Amino acid sequence: FSPAGDTLYASFNEVIRSYKMPGFTEQTKGFIHDREVFRMAVSPDGRWLAALCRLWNNPRAQLSIWDLKTGLLHQRWDGLTAGYSGRLSFSRDSRLLGVGLEDSLRVIAPETGEDTTVIYTPAHLAMALSPDGQFVASSDGARLNIHRLADRTLVKASDEHLREIVDLAYSPDGRFIASASSDMSVILWDAITFWKLASIHDPDNEVSAVRFTPDSRRMLVAELETMLHVWEIPEHFQSQ
């Protein structure tokens, strides 16, 4: 969706189509690629549409950034090692785009196409850029890594999860990080101190995704069995 919620973007093989909401009215122009789109993200200001694409049975990926104001292709990179996953995450001010790849984590300025930061750590399974663009969280299997982008320093490495981390999210206010793992747990972290605050474990269902509500007071946890749980963050965590 666009930030205003009035446009839905959906990928169909090599084409991203846009629909005006409500009513699903298809727009005349699609965003056409020369390979299948498998990951996309819209910037918070509604200016940029980023898409990761790949050819069938080819782990090398292509990153495209479209200008939604003009509908034109703005930047493109080829030969990225995204494997069959890859992640995209914009900073809150839309000035930075985090790209999680098999062998590295890249931070790109969409406007100029400049690679502002490259950190050589696996980040294709899960990756999230902090709202202020100062930190990036990524997973290396079951390990959570948090890097400070200014100097590429690893400021936190945790093996709290028992199996691979499948999703990461920062709260919109930048105070919390959530990590979801195939060990059927979600951990809530303090994004300032990097301390573990709480964990949720469901022995019957595997977690597939985690997000925060816009007010950062609740955490949405999706499970593979199509269940969605809403977990309210305790008040004493919010007031710290």
According to the model, what pLDDT value does residue 6 have?
A: 83
Q: Count each helix (H run) and each strand (E run) in the chain, helices first.
A: 1, 23
Mean pLDDT score of the chain: 87
In contact, 178 and 189? CB cutoff 8 Å: yes
Residues of the chain with pLDDT under 50: none
Closest CA to 156 of 119, 129, 187, 194: 194
According to the model, what pLDDT value does residue 94 have?
A: 93
pTM of the full structure: 0.81
